[in-house]
Amino acid sequence: MQCYNCLPRFRMLRITIDDKKDAVIVRLEGELIGLWIQEVEQCWKKVFASLGERSVHVDLSAVSFVDTAGGALLRRMHDAGFRFAGGAVTGQAWNREGCDLQADAN
């Protein structure tokens, strides 16, 4: 018999970049926590390097949790001009951390 509650929980984050003609879509899936912040920032810098005139949209519809470091990263992304869409995370988790970000209307 295996104890599933005793197994370590893997905290994952998938980052997908969809390069479109008029925009770049950054999709985040999983938990946006301290462990993954540097990874997201590296992807963010790569996106900015090749952006040109396009806008950047961040799809958070599959983000299940945002910790304090993740909230700070989202604030920096928002301040840099990223637009956010999707998920309850946009209204709830950030507000607990003092961030007042809402999903942008499309």
Q: Which CATH class is domain 10-96?
A: alpha beta
- Six-digit token pair at 32? 């946006």
pTM of this structure? 0.73
Q: Is 50 exposed, middle or buried (0-12, 13-18, 19+ CB in 10 A)?
A: exposed
What span, in angstroms and rounded, lies between the C-alpha atoms of 26 and 57? 6
What's the whole-number mean pLDDT along residues 82-95? Answer: 62
Are 15 and 26 within 8 A, CB to CB? yes
Report the pLDDT value the prediction gives residue 37, as an integer from 0 to 100: 92
The answer to whether the beta carbons of residues 103 and 85 sit under 8 Å apart is: yes
pLDDT of residue 41 exceeding 70, the answer is: yes
